[in-house]
Amino acid sequence: MSLSPNFGPRRDGLRPELVVLHYTAMADCAAAQRVLCTPEREVSAHYLIRRDGKVVALVDEPMRAWHAGEGRWRGRGDVNSRSIGIELDNTGTTPFAAPLMDALEALLPGILSRWTIPPEGVIGHSCMAPGRKIDPGPRFDWQRLARAGLAVWPKTSATAPVDPDRFRADASTFGFPDVADDALLSAVRLRFRPWASGPLDGRDCAVMAEMAERFGLDKTSAPA
């Protein structure tokens, strides 16, 4: 039985094909849980993971939690109906606690298995809502999840010619939505190069070319 009242049925027969990771951006996890369980706030997630590693199940997985808001991934909206949402107890400015990361690494395999979600389906809130959201933020350890087969990460450190049009096309093929250039670059870097700064460079282009080649969706067959 769901602990949070903020949920409903998934729409149009949709089922989870993504896991969206968030941070709470609150100093107190108890306060975050209250928000996620307050009807007037109209926000929730399927899971909340505390800094001490305790996993709090808030909404049953088959139901539609209200965590993603407006955004798109792989050309499709209503991310809430297509995803499992996980809130991580973190302010966004500090490292993620080791017990929290251990718990996330233990939780994800079951979710991915139950819903047949591939590692590239584990994304950040910032990935599907560039310019609006930045969580789980630059301190999140995506490489750790990738090493465990629970997310994806570039295999090489190559660079490529700086080509803004090719970069945008590759980002779209991988899944990022069509947004302004600066928002797109910021979202790609939050996911793959959080330490990078400055204008688009050859490493940004190489990363997106690799991700598009390895995991890109065939846009000719993608639903509108």
Which residue blocks in 22-131 are alpha helix, DSSP H?
29-36, 98-115, 125-128
How many other β-carbons are positioned within 10 Å of the β-carbon of residue 187?
Answer: 24
Residue 121 makes CB contacts below 8 A (sequence gap 6+) with 17, 18, 19, 112
The Cα 214–Cα 173 span in angstroms is: 10
The Cα 101–Cα 154 span in angstroms is: 21
How many other β-carbons are positioned within 10 Å of the β-carbon of residue 79?
Answer: 25
- 17, 42, 61, 87: the catalytic one is 87
The Cα 100–Cα 215 span in angstroms is: 28
Cα 70 to chain center, whole Å?
13
Nearest Cα residue to 29 out of 90, 85, 84: 90
Is 17 an active-site residue?
A: no
Tokens of 206: 């190489």
Contact 206, 155 (CB under 8 A): no
Could you list the active site residues?
Answer: 87
